[in-house]
Amino acid sequence: MQVMTPRRLLAALALMLSGCAGAPQTYPSLAKRPVESAPVAELAPPPAPVAADAALLAQIKGFTDQADKGRASFDAALVRADKAVRGASGSSVSSDNWVAAQVAISALESARNDSVSALASLDTLYVQRTNDVADGKESGGLTEIDAARAATLASVDQQNDRIDAMKARLPQP
């Protein structure tokens, strides 16, 4: 084991301290700059929504009527599908009752086609109208489209939930 002599210790200490000493540098001040004290501009309130034109309202009504037609078809098919699923409870997979229930559920999914198609059309109309409003080609109508979309989406979601509940009542392969 080597013993460190005072001369080596002094040389090492001098080298370490020389790293800390250097030319003084100027650092930026942490004081508030004038731009940070400038008053903040108030945001303008958003413009009032503009009512939709008659052509757009007619288009929205056509899609909501289509969604209502799909809802009515779904509700009619729901009774038949529920009866078939109740008849298949306790049946084994691939039995006649199970297959009949699967066919009824498929018919139920087809019956809601108008609702799903109307929702897709309202989504497309909303995106198209949003782009037109942003480009300055059109004004207003977004509130009406959004309300129709929300109602149709709620209906389609409810239909999905009912179909999923029926599928869950059947044995899975």
| Within a domain: 28 | no
| Within a domain: 71 | yes
| Within a domain: 1 | no
- The whole-angstrom separation of Cα 167 and Cα 173 is 12
Q: If 0-12 CB within 10 Å is exposed, 13-18 middle and 19+ buried, where does residue 2 land?
A: exposed
| Within a domain: 127 | yes
Element containing residue 85 per DSSP (H, E):
helix 54-88
pLDDT digits (tens, 9 = 90+) for 104-157: 999 999 999 999 999 999 999 999 999 998 898 988 899 999 999 999 999 999
| Within a domain: 36 | no
CA distances from 36 to 11, 28, 33 (A): 49, 15, 5
Q: How many domains does the chain have?
A: 1
| Within a domain: 2 | no
pLDDT digits (tens, 9 = 90+) for 46-76: 777 788 899 999 999 999 999 999 999 999 9
- The whole-angstrom separation of Cα 131 and Cα 127 is 6
| Within a domain: 49 | no
| Within a domain: 147 | yes
Q: Residue 81 is part of which domain span?
A: 54-169
